Amino acid sequence: MADIQLPDALLVKKYVEGDENALTVLINRHQSKIFGFIYSKISDRDISNDIFQDTFIKVIRTLKLKSYNEEGKFLPWVMRIAHNLIIDHYRKNKKMPMFRETEEFSIFSIMSDDSLTIENKIIRDQVEIDLKKLIEELPADQKEVLVMRMYQDMSFKEISEVTGVSINTALGRMRYALMNMRKVIDKHQIILTN
Amino acid sequence: MAKIYSKKTLVINPMKPKKETISFLLNYSKALSVIKVNDKSFEIIAN
């Protein structure tokens, strides 16, 4: 119950006066906020634990040295220590590992050019043309929804507002549009792959 | 049947440090004592 009632400032005061339990309460109260903050910047549990530990070592030393000025801002103060230690961590790891090309390892085995070849570009353009023809064949209401969703990147809520139908109707039209397109693709055995 | 498109909210457990880390810190705190002599301060860690 003490955890809920006592403010941070009082717990800090009690700890400075020698009450070790006050530190337990403070850590329990703020551990998830502080750890979550560190983890959000580091994304590694082990390193986050190390930084959390270093943060509180600094907190403990400062409090025991009686050089902490209580202004009712315990948590922001601890967060600032954690923030500085996170910056230190990144400074230490600033140097990126360097790779040298050897017979077993080539940098180009992990780096590649993802852009399409000329042939693949032609195929992609052809697929897009075929797709547009298929869309043109759809009933107007289905075509409208499909174009808004796929080409204009609108949400179904926006589509329903623009077309004046319910979201479920818009969803239904999209479903029928896709079903109809699949039917035509199957019927004419159109290949739409790159 | 109407389909429900909304997703269930996920219950996220708050992130916490390891128990070992907490216990280390509490023990460190108990072991550490700081003595100030004039302007200088001495840190003593009891085993």
For A9-54, the pLDDT digits (tens) are 999 999 999 999 999 999 999 999 999 999 988 888 999 999 999 9
Q: Mutation test of the interface with chain A: which of B12, B16, B23, B24, choosing the one with the most A Cβ atoms within 10 A?
A: B16
Write out the residues of chain B at the interface with chain A, using a CB-CB cutoff of 8 A: 2, 5, 14-18, 21-22, 24-26, 28-30, 32-34, 36, 41, 43
Q: Shortest CA distance to A156 belongs to which of A174, A138, A140, A142?
A: A174
CB-based contact A31 B24, cutoff 8 Å: no
Q: What is the pLDDT of residue B8?
A: 64
A118-188 has which CATH code?
A: 1.10.10.10
Residue range A2-92 forms a domain whose CATH class is mainly alpha
Contact A42/A86 with Cβ under 8 angstroms? Answer: yes
For A191, the token pair is 């290949």
For A98, the token pair is 């360097």
pTM of the model: 0.54
CB-based contact A32 B15, cutoff 8 Å: yes
B21 — pLDDT class (breaks 50, 70, 90): very high
Contact A2/A25 with Cβ under 8 angstroms? Answer: yes
CATH 1.10.1740.10 in chain A: give the residue spans: 2-92
The full set of domain ranges for chain B reads 19-47
Mean pLDDT value of segment B9-13: 64
